[in-house]
Amino acid sequence: MTPEHHIWACALAIERQQGSNAAIFVAERVGALALQGDAAGVEMWKAIAARLQDLSRQGGREQG
């Protein structure tokens, strides 16, 4: 699996698990990682957030 595929897989899993709370879930993760000083983690979760936005623009399957 490529890194890009991994990010998309994470975004899809989070969308499926969190439904309409996905953006809040991701924002909380980004905040927690930032407080820990985990720059790589923050960047990964920001990438996931961007893919979630893409999904919502494309009519993602929000649940919740």
Are the CB atoms for 14 and 52 separated by under 8 Å? yes
Q: Helix (H, G, I), strand (E, B), or coil: what is residue 2?
A: coil
- pLDDT value, residue 64: 41
DSSP letter for 58, please. T
Mean pLDDT computed over 2-25:
97
- CA gap 38, 44 in Å, rounded: 10
Q: What is the pLDDT of residues 20-60, one digit of tens each?
A: 999 999 999 999 999 999 999 999 999 999 999 999 888 75
- CA gap 56, 36 in Å, rounded: 29
| Among 20, 22, 27, CA closest to 45 | 27
User: What is the pLDDT confidence band of residue 10, given thresholds at 50, 70 and 90?
Assistant: very high
Q: What is the pTM of this model?
A: 0.86
